[in-house]
Amino acid sequence: MRIHCKIVAIALCVGVFLLLYFFGGNAADDPLLREVEENNSEPSHAKLRHNVASKFVKKTHDEPRIGAEEALKELKEGKIINRGAKVNAKSRRRNNAGRPVSKRGRAEEIMHLAVVACGNRLDETLTMVKSAILFSIKKIKFHIFAEDPLASQFEKGLNQWPRDISAKFQYRVYPITFSVGNAEEWKKLFKPCAAQRLFLPVILKEVDSLLYVDTDVLFLRPMDDIWAFLKAFNSTQLAAMAPEHEVPKIGWYSRFARHPFYGVTGVNSGVMLMNLTRIRSTMFKNSMIPGGLSWEDLLHPLYQKYKNHITWGDQDLLNIIFHYNPECLFTFPCQWNYRPDHCMYGSNCKEAEEEGVSILHGNRGVYHDDKQPAFKVVYDAIHDFSFEDNLFQSLFYPIQTKFLETVNTLCGRIPQVFLKQVEKTMRTVYEAKVVRHVKPHK
């Protein structure tokens, strides 16, 4: 009897001691840890998802080409899930170590995309926005510059999309404004409104970096992958564009331009990545003022000087600017701004033949006429896709099937140029979705 009591008492003591040690001791060790735990009200599977998300983010940054896919592979092999489980069940210290990473991931989360839409470009712009949202990993903030009647139509169009899609992006609609010079004159330059893009560094003062695209651009892979080029800039680069042409003999600038332009064939400004912070703080060399001028002060005198010699409006001005400041420009390969020029005289974009098109740019109005059906097929499929449908059944297969009808046109002749990257992208998105649906039950 007495021995029994003793054993019970000893067991109780040990129990109390262990409890004290576990709660009191550990927390005293590391007060910060406890605070983090208290502040952290995310349920464990949400935390796990977050870890996976930052994994994706990190990977795409390091290796734009295979990032998401590799993360997916790791995910399948259980590496990420195992890491997550350990964090939640076993080691608080690990949890603490994990936090700063996810915090950093969170700070980098938003990518900025700007577009300028005038006239009848509503449908085209919404289709571009849709393509960006469909495949991208990080959140996107859209800065939409639109003429008056269009602005409210954008809001209406975007607000109609399903709620889980709306969660993936933010947007703001701005009026067309010109901060310097004669507004009417700027508006007439090239197409209505196109000159607006030159003023983005001045208008979007709170934005660090931005991808500008024309309304006739379609993303065939995550925007994250082109965004990753920002980190590849060297210390003097502040913008990135693709060459206007791959073959000098048939390029426009190399044959006809009556003004200076960048490189051998000039650059195309339909897809333009910008570090606005750097653009705002750089003095640009030019042919007018020896000491250089800030971006804002440069635009108007430059326009005054060259307005009788330029054909393509603001794109020509950009070419002049980077002619005098070549160290500021990063050029990305043609598959990031793939235009009819790359196939209508025969295929001349080697990178697209190997990897497939990453960003399609249907200039010359090819989404809306029958001149280049290969471009139109892709546009129509994304335009008609409703978010509720299955990506493969309702997007990829229609593109593939209709594309085969274009194989006797110059641009449709090599199907893998148009199909390879988009298939890869959809497979990744599709698999990621399946994994995400399975995971919370783990």
Ligand X SMILES: *[C@@H]1O[C@H](CO)[C@@H](O)[C@H](O)[C@H]1NC(C)=O
Q: Under the rule (CB under 6 A), what is the footprint of ligand X?
A: 32, 35-36, 39, 208-209, 230-231, 234-237, 275, 277-278, 326-327
Neighbour order of strands in the sheet with 209-213:
169-174, 140-146, 111-117, 209-213, 267-275, 239-243, 329-331
Q: Which amino acid is at 357?
A: V
CA distance 274 to 211: 6
H or E stretch covering 163: helix 163-166
Question: 56 or 332, CB closer to ligand X?
Answer: 332
Q: Which is nearer to ligand X, 158 or 204 (CB)?
A: 204
Residue 246 sits at φ, ψ, to 5 deg, of -95, -25
**Which token pair is 34?**
């406890």
Question: At how many degrees (to 10) do helices 67-76 and 415-438 cross?
Answer: 40
For ligand X, the closer of residues 146 and 210 by Cβ is: 210
Least gap, CB of 263 to ligand X (angstroms): 10
Q: How far is the CB of 150 from ligand X (least distance, A)?
A: 29
Contact 347, 334 (CB under 8 A): no
Q: Which is nearer to ligand X, 275 or 358 (CB)?
A: 275
Which residue, 162 or 326, is less far from ligand X as judged by CB?
A: 326
- Residue type at 96? N
Residue that has been written with the tokens 């021995």 in this structure: 3
Residue with tokens 């050029």: 331
User: Which residue type, as a one-letter code, is found at position 208?
Assistant: D
Shortest separation between residue 281's beta carbon and ligand X, angstroms: 7
Nearer to ligand X, 25 or 326 (CB): 326
CB of 248 to ligand X, least distance (A): 19
The helix or strand, by DSSP H or E, that contains position 253, with its residue range, turns out to be helix 252-256
Residue 26: C-alpha distances to residues 31, 39, 86, 306 (Å):
9, 17, 17, 71
Q: How far is the CB of 246 from ligand X (least distance, A)?
A: 18
Distance from C-alpha of 99 to C-alpha of 184, rounded to nearest angstrom: 52
* Closer by beta carbon to ligand X, 181 or else 263: 263
Q: CB 342 → ligand X: shortest distance, Å?
A: 23
Question: For the chain, first and last CA: distance in Å?
Answer: 48
Q: For residues 215 and 282, which CB has a smaller minimum distance to ligand X in the complex?
A: 282
In the complex, minimum distance from the CB of residue 428 to ligand X, in angstroms, rounded to a whole number: 23
Q: Which residue, 223 or 422, is less far from ligand X as judged by CB?
A: 223
- Is there a contact between 157 and 233 (Cβ–Cβ < 8 Å)? no
Q: Is 2 helix (H, G, I), strand (E, B) or coil?
A: helix
Distance CA 84, CA 73 (A): 16
Closer to ligand X at the Cβ: 237 or 335?
A: 237
Angle at 101 between CA 98 and CA 102, to 5 degrees: 90
d(CA 225, CA 330): 15
